[in-house]
Structure 1
Amino acid sequence: MANEISSQTVVGLTQKSFYLIVLIMSDPTKSATRKAIRETWLSVSHQKVKHLFVIGSKGLAEDVLNDVLKENTAHHDMLILDSVSESYSSLTVKVLAGFQWLHLNYQFNFLLKCDDDSFVRTVPLLEELQKKPQSHLYWGFFKGGSSVFQKGKWKESEWFLCDTYLPYALGGGYILSSDLVEFIAKSGPLLQQYKSEDVSVGVWLSPLKIRRVHDVRFDTEFKSRGCYNDYLITHKQSANEMREKHDNLIKTGKLCPSELRVRYSYNYNWTVLPSKCCKNFDPDLP
C-alpha cells in the first residue's frame, strides 16, 4: 500500500515537515466533492501546506474501497484508516485516529481540521496564522453553554460532566498547534470519546492552560451565517457553491459578489461562565 493509505502500515516512515497540515474529514462515496475541493480552494497550492482527505475503510463494500484506492493512486492525498468504520457515531474515533497518525508521520506547526463541505481560503489563513501564538493555540469559532443532546443520533449517553457542553471550537474548521495535537494523540487511550468530535476536542483540551482564540471569520456553525469577504472558512458549502466562491476570488479578488448576512454572530465572552458566553449577538460582526 502507498504510504498514505493505512494507519497500520505507515508508522516508522521518514517524517516530512510542513507549516500547516489540513485534515479534511470525508465520506468514501464523495469523490465528486473531493474533486470540487481539489479544483477550487486546494488548487491554490502552497509549499508550506499539506492536505489529506481522511476516510475510514473498515467494513467498506469492495467496490467502494476499490474506487477510493484508485482515487488515491491518482492524487496521493488520502489518509485511509483501515481500523475506522464510516458512520456519524465513529467520527470522534476517526478524528482521534487521524491526529495520532499525523503525529507519528509528519512534523508540522499547525493542524487545520475541517469537513469536506468547508471552503477554506488558505493564503489569508496562513497570513493570519503567522500572527497568532505559535504554540498552545486552539483557534476557531467557539460555542459555550450548549444543551447536551439527550436523543437522536447526537445523543450523548456517556456525558456526565455538567448540564451543558464545555466550550469548544465548532467542527466546520478549527486550528490546533502541533503541541496540542501531540497531547491528544499521546493521551488517546485514556480519553473519553463523545458522539460529537468537536465537543470531544473541547473536553480533551479543557483543563489545559492554552490560548483559545474565538474568530468570527470562521463561519463554521451548523449553518452558514451568510457570505462575507473576511471569512477564512465557510462551512456547509455544496460543490457548486465552492466553485462559485473560487471563481469570485479569481475574477474579483473577493469571496462574495455581495456580502450577505443570514444570522447574527457574536464575540465569545471569556470573562463569564459558558452559559452566558455567547448571548450578545452583534449586527456589526460578519
Structure 2
Amino acid sequence: MARAWRQSKNRIVKNIFCFGCLFILPLFVLAVVVYSKSKNAETPSVTDEVSSQNIIESTQKSFYLIVLIFSDPTKSATRKAIRETWLSTSHQNMKHMFVVGSKGLAEDVLNNVLKENSSHHDMLILDSVNESYISLTTKVKKGFQWLHSNYHFSFLLKCDDDSFVRISPLLEELKKQPQNYLYWGFFKGGSSVFQKGKWKESEWFLCDTYLPYALGGGYILSSDLVEFIAKNGPLLQQYKSEDVSVGVWLSPLKIHRVHDVRFDTEFKSRGCYNEYLITHKQSANDMRVKHDSLLKTGKLCPSELRVRYSYNYNWTVLPSKCCKDFNPDLP
C-alpha cells in the first residue's frame, strides 16, 4: 500500500516537472531572444554600414549609374576634394558612394569615418574588410555584392580616390554604349604575371600572361555583370590585383569589351587631354586645378600634355600581341 502511494506520488511529481519544463523552456528561449535583440539595439553593428538615407533610397529609387569610389579610411581630405570638384554638381539618376574597410581600424579613425558618413551620407563601410593592398580584391567583390543586394541600377563605375571623372560627358557617352553585358574601360593584355614583390600572384596558373582586363583606375560594368560577380563570388578565385581579378572572372563570358583611350586609368597618367573621361593618379590639388579649368574654360586641361603614348586594343590577335601599336595620334 505504502509502495503504491510512493509510486503514485513520484508519477505526480514527474508529471508536474515535465509540465513545468514544457511551460518554462519556451519562456526561457523567448527571454534569450528578447535579450539578444535588446543588446543588438544597444550596440549597433557597423557591418556594411550606410546611412539611413541610403537605405531609404535603395528601397525607393533606381539609378542609371552608381559610382563606387574605393578609398582609404584615413583619406578624408581626398574625399573632401572629390566632393568639392567632380562630384560637386548633382546628376539625375546618378549616385556615388565611397567604399572603405573598417576591420581592425583604430577607434579614433573609425569614429572619424562614422562622423564623416553622418555628415555626408555617402559612405559604404565594410567591417569585414581590412584596409590593405592584399585585401583590395575582397573589398571590390564585397562592394559589388552589397551594391547588387541593396540597389537597383543600370551601370556601375568603379574608380579609385585618386581618379578625376568628368561625369556629364561620361553619362552622355555611356548612353551610346551597349546597355547590357558592358565592360568598358582601358584594356590591357599580354602582360607578364608578377612573380615577386607585393604584386606576386602565387595563385596564378592560367597562362604565362594576364588575361585582358580593364585597368582599375576606372571602369564601367553593366548591372548584369555585377550580378554575375556578386552571385558567383564564393566560387571566384581572387588575385592580388582587383582589376586583373575582374578580368579573369568575366573572361569566359560573351560580353561587350569596349577599349576606350579616353579612360586614362593606367598606373601612371598618360598626361592631360581634353577628351579624357577619367584621369587616374591625381592628387587633391590636381583635381582642383582640373575642376577650375573646366569651370573657367570648359576644358579639362589648362594645356594638353603627353607623358606616355596610348594604343588601340587589337581584339583580333592573342593578348601577347594586343597592345603593341602605340599611336602618337591617340590621347
Could you say whether these structures have the same fold, taking a TM-score greater than 0.5 normalized by the shorter chain as the test? yes
Partner in structure 1 of residue 259 of structure 2: 214
**Higher RCO (CA < 8 A, seq sep 6+):** 1
Deviation at 1:258, TM superposition (A): 1.1
Counterpart of 1:45, as a letter, is S
Q: Does 1:58 align with 2:58?
A: no
- Contact 1:219–1:235 (8 Å) recurs in 2: yes
1:64-89 deviation digits (Å, cap 9, x = unpaired)? 00000000000000000011110000
Q: How does 1:127-276 map to 2 (within 5 A)?
A: 127-276=172-321
Q: Does 1:285 align with 2:330?
A: yes
- Contact 1:15–1:107 (8 Å) recurs in 2: no
Partner in structure 2 of residue 82 of structure 1: 127
Counterpart of 1:134, as a letter, is Q
Q: Secondary structure at the match of 2:301?
A: coil
CA distance in 2, matches of 1:36, 1:123: 18
Q: Between Structure 1 and Structure 2, how many residues are aligned?
A: 284
CA distance in 2, matches of 1:144, 1:138: 15
Deviation at 1:209, TM superposition (A): 0.1
Counterpart of 1:273, as a letter, is L
Q: Does 1:100 align with 2:145?
A: yes
- Contact 1:138–1:213 (8 Å) recurs in 2: yes
Deviation at 1:6, TM superposition (A): 3.4
- Contact 1:137–1:212 (8 Å) recurs in 2: yes
Partner in structure 1 of residue 47 of structure 2: 6
CA distance in 2, matches of 1:79, 1:236: 22
TM-score, structure 1 as length reference: 0.97
Structure 1 runs (4+) deviating above 4 angstroms are: 8-13
Provide the alpha-carbon RMSD of the alignment: 1.7
Q: Secondary structure at the match of 1:249?
A: helix
Counterpart of 2:179, as a letter, is Q
- Contact 2:49–2:124 (8 Å) recurs in 1: no
1:2-30 deviation digits (Å, cap 9, x = unpaired)? xxx63278999725310000000000000
More helix by share: 2
Q: Does 1:68 align with 2:113?
A: yes
Deviation at 1:48, TM superposition (A): 1.1
CA distance in 1, matches of 2:327, 2:129: 41
Cα 1:202–1:15 change in 2 (3 A) is farther
Q: In percent, how many aligned pairs have the same letter?
A: 85
- Contact 1:15–1:106 (8 Å) recurs in 2: no
Cα 1:15–1:90 change in 2 (3 A) is farther
CA distance in 2, matches of 1:6, 1:60: 13
Partner in structure 2 of residue 21 of structure 1: 66
Deviation at 1:47, TM superposition (A): 1.9
- Contact 1:6–1:79 (8 Å) recurs in 2: no
- Contact 1:266–1:278 (8 Å) recurs in 2: yes
Partner in structure 1 of residue 89 of structure 2: 44
Greater Cα radius of gyration, structure 1 or 2: 2
Deviation at 1:105, TM superposition (A): 0.3
Deviation at 1:257, TM superposition (A): 1.1
- Contact 2:49–2:125 (8 Å) recurs in 1: no
1:88-145 deviation digits (Å, cap 9, x = unpaired)? 0000000000000000000000000000000000000000000100000000000000
Partner in structure 1 of residue 30 of structure 2: none
- Contact 1:16–1:105 (8 Å) recurs in 2: no
Q: Secondary structure at the match of 1:135?
A: coil
Counterpart of 1:136, as a letter, is Y
Counterpart of 1:155, as a letter, is K
CA distance in 1, matches of 2:209, 2:216: 17
- Contact 2:269–2:281 (8 Å) recurs in 1: yes
